[in-house]
């Protein structure tokens, strides 16, 4: 089979690094990654996603068969603090990139989020065609990005080459714990070891932490499936992937305490739910159905949360 090329945007980030790795370890792919503030110009190409000219130049030089678009502002609190910058990256840049990739017959996988759904008690799991209704601006920007990408491919007459992949909260190998809303909870467990410390931890919203390595594998499998298909227009435009590991942030801290042999007595479970005065409202349960991936015969298995973390922190265990 002829060698294919994939370009991964946001390749210096938590997910992007694992997507790059997933393609590299599988035969048949040449992998290029792009970044901006952390791009070194060698392994990671510097690409300004807000510049149509820069996008066009990069695509014409690399000539990728697929683009996995991981670059995004993905922290709800940061989106709320700088909504214009978030809209510029999550919506406008995604639209510009999709216009350029569609014009060149390039498959684009747009990484989205479970936060496009309202997460009301009793609603989940959400099928891919369920009606979105984000509870915060982050979810809205990602939903608008989905619509922009799919519309560019529709207008270009290239439906089936533009795909959205929704994922939940992610964890994995991180350069700093703050890269992940899951990894950072390990810091909370360590801080709770200080006498007199009291930390309130959400024990209301249900999460499905999913490993970035698994998401990378699914991105590879989706790209291969769609590029190999002789009838792409019959393939779904929206896909969803999630672990079935179900836990609150407090329960994640309990797991970390067990793994590390540390007490979490100073961490208090908070079951009150959203503060009605908070600027960012988070959904209760946005569990994603993986039915569409299963229908495509794409592997939706995931690593076990506790087992992965036991391996990850083994050097710190006494």
Number of domains in the chain: 2
Residue 316 has pLDDT above 60, yes or no: no
Residues 127 and 187 grouped into a single domain: no
Residues 76 and 116 grouped into a single domain: yes
pLDDT tens column, 269-292: 999 988 887 778 889 999 999 999
Determine which one of 110, 115, 138, 171 is catalytic. 138
- Local confidence band at 115 (pLDDT 50, 70, 90 cut-offs): very high
Residue 318 has pLDDT above 50, yes or no: no
Rg (CA), the chain: 20
% the chain with pLDDT above 90: 85
Residues 167 and 235 grouped into a single domain: yes
Residues 85 and 181 grouped into a single domain: no
Residues 118 and 194 grouped into a single domain: no
Which residues form the domain of 153? 4-171+210-242+288-295
- What CA–CA distance (Å, rounded) separates 139 from 73? 11
Residues 121 and 185 grouped into a single domain: no
Residue 317 has pLDDT above 60, yes or no: no
Residues 272 and 224 grouped into a single domain: no
Q: For residues 153-175, give the mean pLDDT.
A: 96
Element (H, E) at 316: none
Span between the terminal Cα atoms of the chain, in Å: 49
What CATH number is given to the structural domain containing 55?
3.40.50.720
Locus of tokens 């503060």: 275
List the beta strands (DSSP E) in 128-179.
162-167, 170-171
Residues 16 and 79 grouped into a single domain: yes
Asked about 138 being catalytic, the answer comes back as yes
**Structural contact between residues 72 and 89, judged by C-beta atoms closer than 8 angstroms:** yes
Backbone dihedral region of 297: left (phi > 0), alpha (psi from -120 to 50 degrees) or beta?
Answer: left
Give residues with Cβ within 8 angstroms of 175, minimum separation 6. none
Residue 41 has pLDDT above 80, yes or no: no
Residues 141 and 265 grouped into a single domain: no
Give 203's strand partners: none
Residues 182 and 250 grouped into a single domain: yes
What CATH number is given to the structural domain containing 308?
3.90.25.10
């Amino acid at each position: 089979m002829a060698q294919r090329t994939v370009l991964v945007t946001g390749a210096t980030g938590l997910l992007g690094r694992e997507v790059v790795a997933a393609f590299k370890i599988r035969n048949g792919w040449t992998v290029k990654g792009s970044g901006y503030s952390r791009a070194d110009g060698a392994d990671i190409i510097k690409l300004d996603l807000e510049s149509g000219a820069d996008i066009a130049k990069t695509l014409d030089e690399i000539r990728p068969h697929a683009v996995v678009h991981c670059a995004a502002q993905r922290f709800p609190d940061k989106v709320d603090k700088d909504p214009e910058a978030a809209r510029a990256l999550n919506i406008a840049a995604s639209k510009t990139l999709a216009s350029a990739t569609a014009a060149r017959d390039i498959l684009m996988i747009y990484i989205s989020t479970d936060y496009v759904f309202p997460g009301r008690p009793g609603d989940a799991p959400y099928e891919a065609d369920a009606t979105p209704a984000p509870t915060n601006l982050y979810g809205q920007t990602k939903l608008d990005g989905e619509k922009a990408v799919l519309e560019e491919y529709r207008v270009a007459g290239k439906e089936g080459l533009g795909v959205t992949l929704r994922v939940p909260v992610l964890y994995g190998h991180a350069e700093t714990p703050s890269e992940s809303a899951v990894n950072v909870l390990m810091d909370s467990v360590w801080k709770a070891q200080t006498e007199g410390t009291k930390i309130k931890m959400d024990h209301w919203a249900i999460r499905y932490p999913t490993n970035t390595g698994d998401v990378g594998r699914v991105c590879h499998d989706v790209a291969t499936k769609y590029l190999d298909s002789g009838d792409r227009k019959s393939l779904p435009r929206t896909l969803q992937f999630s672990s079935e590991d179900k836990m609150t942030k407090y329960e994640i801290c309990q797991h970390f305490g067990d793994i590390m042999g540390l007490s979490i007595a100073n961490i208090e479970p908070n079951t009150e739910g959203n503060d009605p005065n908070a600027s960012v409202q988070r959904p209760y349960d946005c569990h994603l159905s993986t039915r569409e991936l299963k229908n495509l015969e794409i592997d939706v298995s995931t690593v076990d949360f506790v087992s992965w973390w036991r391996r990850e922190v083994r050097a710190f265990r006494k």
